[in-house]
Amino acid sequence: MCFSQISSMARQMGDSHRRFLQTMMINGITDEHSVKALYQYCCEVNKTPHVPDKLDEFIDTINSKLQAMFMQIRKGMSEVDGHQYYVLVNMAETNITRMSSDYADNELELFRKIVDLTVCSENGKVSSTDILNITDTMTTKKLKKSETEHLLSRLVQDKWLCEERGEYTLSARCIIEMEPYIRTMYQDHLKVCHICHSLAFQCQICENPTCGIKIHNPCVARYFKRRTEPRCPSCDDFWPHEIPGAFTSCKVLLHHNNTASLIFMSTTAEVEDSVAQ
């Protein structure tokens, strides 16, 4: 779905909704704090009522217009920092081919293998060494080491992956956009968080063999906060795992300075010009 088509649809909305959507088109993925600030700014600039707890309704109004184009603004949690993020998603393309306009066939094959390794891993992480090793199994043109490293850098820059100390995880954008694909392709390997009921890759697991529930690391931190004796919320067994502390944002997940500059564009025309570039 091209930006011009979405821009055409945006013109059918009210000014505040249109400005909000056009900024989301540019950002792709935006953290909850910035989305709330954007919502307030769009309402104030266009002199429409700003009700802080009506953000979901505001987005629902936009989504109702986008439905005919199989587009949707969706919300999901980052497993790295536990924060909520909003993503403009193309619902018509539910697999990795949605990235075909930006990546070559052999690059997409390697990314698919990275997703496979990550989803099937115990901790939701895959090392750079493992990624380099799986290039030997590629059926399309094999990537050289330098090409693989460049691709990994691009995937992080484009917010499909997160990287920390040589280990790669699926970003919030990847999980939100690729959820239908992941649920279809990896039914036997899926883990679902007992607390938030979303897909869980980086999680802790109850060691009771008759229980075995999974909880996201950020959900673990929130659920067991201030509990002197952590117990499984399902079977009430003692929870033996270390309770995570504060979470930090994953590398190159968002460009906050760019987000701020987009939020405070003074006219809708400026946003439309940015989309056209």
Task: Write out pLDDT tens, residues 179-221.
Answer: 989 999 999 889 999 999 999 999 999 999 999 999 999 999 9
Q: Is the pTM of this model over 0.75?
A: yes
Spell out the alpha helix ranges (H) of the chain.
Answer: 3-10, 15-27, 32-45, 55-66, 105-120, 128-134, 145-157, 172-185, 217-223, 256-263, 268-276
pLDDT of residue 101: 84
Q: How far apart are CA 190 and CA 201, in angstroms?
A: 8
Q: Which of these CATH numbers, 3.40.50.300, 3.90.180.10, 3.30.40.10, 3.40.50.10680, describes 191-245?
A: 3.30.40.10
Task: Write out pLDDT tens, residues 39-52.
Answer: 999 999 999 889 99
Tell me the backbone φ, ψ of residue 216, rounded to 5 degrees. -50, 145
| Mean of pLDDT values over 115-130 | 95
What is the CATH topology of the domain spanning 97-185?
A: Arc Repressor Mutant, subunit A (1.10.10)
Closest to 5 measured CA to CA, from 58, 61, 70: 70
Domain covering 3-92 in this structure, CATH number? 3.90.1150.220
Map out the domains of the chain as residue ranges.
Answer: 3-92, 97-185, 191-245
Task: Write out pLDDT tens, residues 65-98.
Answer: 998 888 999 999 999 888 999 999 988 876 787 8
Q: Is the per-residue pLDDT at 58 higher than 90?
A: yes
Q: Is the per-residue pLDDT at 12 higher than 70?
A: no
- The DSSP code sequence of 212-241 is --EEEHHHHHHHTTT-SS-B-TTT--B--S
Closest to 40 measured CA to CA, from 19, 60, 64: 19
Instruction: Characterize the bridge pairing of strands 161-164 and 126-127.
Output: unpaired
